[in-house]
Amino acid sequence: MRQTNQAPRRLAVFFLVLSLILVIGIPVIFALHVLNREPDDPIVDSDAAESTMTESAASESGTAAPEQKAEPASEAPTSHPASEETPSFESSSSEEPSEEPPFEEDSLYSQAMSLLDSMTLEEKVGQMFFIRCPSENAAELAARWQPGGYVLFASDFENKTPQEAAADIQSYQDAVRIPMLIGVDEEGGTVTRISRFSQYRDEPFLSPRDLYAEGGFELIRSDTIEKCALLHSLGINVNLAPVCDVSTSGEDFIYERAFSNDAQETADYVRLVVSVMKEEGMGCTLKHFPGYGNNVDTHTGIAVDNRSLESFYENDFLPFLAGIEAGAGSILVSHNIMTCVDDSMPASLSPAVHELLREDLGFDGVIMTDDLIMDAITEYTDGSSAAVLAVLAGNDLLICSDPTIQLPAVIEAVLDGTIPLEQVEESVLRILMWKLELNLI
């Protein structure tokens, strides 16, 4: 009988069986796996799942997912829930922006605008007057005028105890709807309205020049802090200082009140004093813009300054710029005639000088006049006209000793269109923001 080779046949049968197993078995196994898994389990591999979870947590926390690195299981770091790993990221991604307080300046602006919208024309104009405190019936007159503030002099302190002076000042504040600026010239040296009287201080404050000679800038700092404390204790919130003038000669009117003959040294002094006053919450006033130099006293007559604009930039403006950079809230403009900018008007009444201060020096705070009753003004124009001209020039705050004439004159000028209402409101907005910065409102 002939033998048949069975190997090829067996091989064919093997491959046929294997094919049937692959075709039928794998789908059956897969179906069983699907039927046995949890309904909500995604069909993904573990590496992909870990990557997805990491990316999801990072997305919620606002950070990018870290690159995955293959590591032995024994060296893997201990994992924590995303809420425990990055709580600050999760809270900042959606909730923090709505809870974050607005910028301080925006907040002050909003508060000032809200208050401005509630004011009558008379109240708005009243805010523009920094009135010499009346010797009698000061509280009653404050209630009538609703002024931006009162300026106090030595006579307001001389025959009073500190407690009596503080009580009087509080009565002025109680009489007005919007808290007032209460100002005083407590420079030290020849200009002291309070410390000259022993019931307030054993000795008058020294001049800045003498302070520096005795103890340098450290004594200037401690002296400024002490001044602020004394003024605060009485209810005073503005010291009409520091003096920014640069005097070049001992014969100058401003010499004893000036810090130095050197502009840069004066700038350093002003920067320090303004910074300390801000830290102490005391309003300050840079004076007397554009700088007295060697000019005569404008309390007693008109002063004409013929220096070049270049010389002002190289010297007199340096202390003012330092004070502006340090955050001074106000600048007082003198009655000097600055011929290089305006040869016909005192600086306090000159739109060109105010434009220079705003545009070139970049000051956006409160600009105030020196007293409008000083001879340099009364020889130039009458009181009511001076007030109107001062507003038109760009002053926000008018220091005056005759509000019964000057305040009504400004109201009338607004009503007849001489002074735009918008300009008044811009000035009042600056004044209100300054008061807010000083925490008066």
Give, as one character, the DSSP assignment of residue 288: E
What is the spatial distance between Cα 165 and Cα 43, in angstroms, rounded to a whole number? 84
354 as an active site residue: the answer is no
* φ, ψ dihedrals at 152, nearest 5°: -105, 150
370 as an active site residue: the answer is yes
Residue whose token pair is 């389990």: 41
- What is the pairing mode between strands 238-239 and 181-184? parallel
Cis before 288? omega within 30: yes
What is the spatial distance between Cα 199 and Cα 161, in angstroms, rounded to a whole number? 6
Sign of CA dihedral 305, 310, 316, 322: positive
What is the spatial distance between Cα 268 and Cα 289, in angstroms, rounded to a whole number? 17
Of the residues 106, 299, 343, 382, only one is catalytic, namely: 299
Other beta carbons within 10 angstroms of residue 368's beta carbon come to: 27
Beta bridge partners of 398: 129
Which helix (H) or strand (E) covers residue 131, if one does?
A: strand 129-132
Of the residues 185, 268, 316, 370, only one is catalytic, namely: 370
Beta bridge partners of 367: 331
DSSP of 302-350, one letter per residue?
--EE---HHHIIIIIHHHHHHHHHHT-SEEEE-S-EETTT-SSS-GGG-
Which helix (H) or strand (E) covers residue 368, if one does?
A: strand 366-369
Other beta carbons within 10 angstroms of residue 285's beta carbon come to: 29
What is the spatial distance between Cα 399 and Cα 76, in angstroms, rounded to a whole number? 75
Residues annotated as catalytic (active site), given as ranges: 299, 370
